[in-house]
Amino acid sequence: MNASYSELRARARDSLRGNWGKAIGGFVLTILLAAVIGLINYLIPALGNVISFLISGAISLGLISFYLGIARKENPPVSEVFSGFAQFIKAFCLYFMVGLFTFLWTLLFIIPGIIAALRYSQAYFILRDNPDIGIMDAIRESKQLMLGNKWRYFVLQLTFIGWAILAAIPFGIGYLWLCPYISVTQAHFYDEVTGRYRAPAPDSF
């Protein structure tokens, strides 16, 4: 039986227990990187956009690796956020192809674009667990995993809307907690649909 949305969020909170500082630290690192890129773009127009385009794949892969490690209680270091650079070319190609496919579907209409984004949402997780997999194979495997799961994944995101509204008050500070919470929940969703999740053994008395 598929885990409920509340159960997936509960698993995320359990994984984050004792790891909130680390999880927030990884998120803050990406905010600082974005700020640096924004400064570069301010000083040298367009250069920051080029840098962002080139490294977005590596950062996405690193963030997913970091939060998946937290979800699995592997105690990853905060530096795991930058681990995607070890597969820079492959991460960039995945970023480019997923973005291209999603854009092409969006040309048909907004709804097909959203469905495409959901269809390809697990590709970085797959690459993280299978570093030698080909880009198109990762995309195809994501499509296969999301058969019958796209709506579940979409609704899972919607369950955070209330928290997103609260996190915006005051000054969006709450997003420092909410974004890692969402990311770890998404990691648990991936482990759920791939069958990797194993319930903890009951305590013995």
The angle subtended at Cα 68 by Cα 11 and Cα 89, nearest 5°, is 160
d(CA 20, CA 203): 25
Closest C-alpha to 70, from 112, 16, 137, 107: 16
Tens place of pLDDT for every residue, the chain, 205 residues? 688 999 999 999 999 999 999 999 999 999 999 999 999 988 998 999 999 999 999 999 999 999 999 999 999 999 999 999 999 999 999 999 999 999 999 988 888 899 999 999 999 999 999 999 999 999 999 999 999 999 999 999 999 999 999 998 888 899 999 999 999 999 999 999 998 877 665 544 4
Structure tokens that stand for 111 in this block: 């709804």
Phi, psi angle pair for 74, to nearest 5°: -95, 0
Provide the residue type at 3 as one letter: A
d(CA 128, CA 131): 6
